Structure 1
Amino acid sequence: MTLDREGVVGNISRLKPFLGQIGTTPSKAIPDSHNAGDFGSLLVNASHEYAMSEKELKKHKTDGHMDVNKTREGSIVIAPVKVKGGGVYVGDAHAMQGDGEIAGHTADVSAIVVLKVKVLKNLNIDGPIIIPLEEDLPYLAKPITEEERKAAMELGQKWGIDKLEKTAPISFVGTGSNLNEAINNGLQRASQVLNLSVPEVMNRTTINGAIEIGRAPGTVTVTFLAPIEALGNAGLYEIIKEQYKLWD
């Protein structure tokens, strides 16, 4: 699209830099801009050398091109590894971007990026997981405070409930050729990693989280408070616990 410059002259915006691309190398050559389920769908049965089938795209992509504005300084991105060594890469730095990158672009900038890389063994994931800064979490997905837990316990005891579930935030990236497919993909990924049913993930996302658009036409984050038992079984709780300074 062409930017209507006359419409934004003199506009003021806050800065909130983040990386539009952060992830690992696909197991088959894919243009970095197409390493996601939405833009990647344009490669399916294309007429050029990067053409692939829908099955191949799902198998090889790593969804490193997210344009999710949560991937900024202080956040944690857990990415699938599909090539030897992982092949971590970054790019597409944005000075700011509202959810959805709805204009199809934003203020791209150059950046110096410092990453701390850690290998998580025996974690089988199909796409990225984000552990955002607490301030970037949806309101309903923020960690339950001690005051909130105390109030809930007092209310629960009135109704014969003497034990409350302990939870912590997690955000799954979902991608697809459209937003409905991306949402379903994110729900399925959360279900598989945490060994929860899709309906349970849907309910938890509704009452303890949110689905937010990373990029139109088909990248979302499915964020919710998950049971720490499920997070622990997946090998993720210690990382989340450290990020949000949680106490068991």
Structure 2
Amino acid sequence: MIAPVKVPGAGVYLGDMHALQGDGEIAGHTCDVSGTVTLQVEVIKGLNIDGPILFPVPEDLPYLARPFTEEELARARALAEQWGLRELERTAPISVIGTGPDLNAATDNGLERAARLLDMTVPEVKNRATITGAIEIARHPGVVQVTFLAPVDRLARIGLGPYIEAQYGIKV
């Protein structure tokens, strides 16, 4: 998780650990548990974000947002070659958190945050989330995850390359 720092010392704290929770925590409760956490904190200087970014573990990614296997990439390259394309866009998963008073506002906020972060238009982010990802309810009534495959070069340009490599093994 990458979060903006808005107070001196960052104000990092942990709590509300869940054993399980359905998507959206729709009933307003979960199965809380106690636990022990090991946390490593790093400052990314110059990354100007106004909300959290996640790089979910692969098994938590929506199916369409999972990194391509070598076999899938080989098939895609062969198909691209048939159609005269010289190369495929290199992509990696990203989840941008959107918040608002309701799910519609949270979705709009997440799409706008992702567009600003990656220097894209909101319609491009919408298309990428539709084709290579999902908009998931993180918490009702107003938190969503906008997850999609983003261009690796744009992620690297804003300093997120090392995190993509560490989380997904995708060379930047």
Task: Specify the TM-score bucket, using the shorter chain as the normaliser.
Answer: over 0.9
**Partner Cα separation in structure 2 for residue 83 and residue 156 of structure 1:** 48
Please say if 1:96 is aligned against 2:20: yes
**Structure whose alpha-carbon radius of gyration is higher:** 1
Give secondary structure in 2 for the equivalent of 1:188: helix
Structure 2 gap ranges (5+): none
Give secondary structure in 1 for the equivalent of 2:10: coil
Q: Please state how far the C-alpha of 1:87 moved relative to its aligned partner.
A: 1.2
Match of 1:230 among 154, 160, 164: 154
User: Percent of aligned pairs with the same residue?
Assistant: 60
Who is 1:158 aligned against? 82
Matched ranges for 1:1-248 at <5 A: 77-248=1-172
Q: Please state how far the C-alpha of 1:167 moved relative to its aligned partner.
A: 0.3
The runs of at least 4 consecutive aligned structure 1 residues that moved more than 4 Å come to: none
How many positions carry a matched residue from both structures?
172
Normalised by the size of structure 1, how large is the TM-score? Answer: 0.68
Q: Please state how far the C-alpha of 1:147 moved relative to its aligned partner.
A: 1.0
Give secondary structure in 1 for the equivalent of 2:32: coil
**Partner Cα separation in structure 1 for residue 161 and residue 98 of structure 2:** 21
What is the RMSD of the two structures over their aligned residues, measured on CA atoms?
0.9
Structure 1 gap ranges (5+): 1-76
Q: Please state how far the C-alpha of 1:111 moved relative to its aligned partner.
A: 2.1
**Partner Cα separation in structure 1 for residue 50 and residue 65 of structure 2:** 23
Normalised by the size of structure 2, how large is the TM-score? Answer: 0.97
In structure 2, what residue type is equivalent to 1:147?
Answer: E
**Partner Cα separation in structure 1 for residue 155 and residue 119 of structure 2:** 9
Give secondary structure in 1 for the equivalent of 2:34: coil
Structure having greater relative contact order (Cα 8 Å, sep ≥ 6): 2
**Partner Cα separation in structure 1 for residue 31 and residue 44 of structure 2:** 33
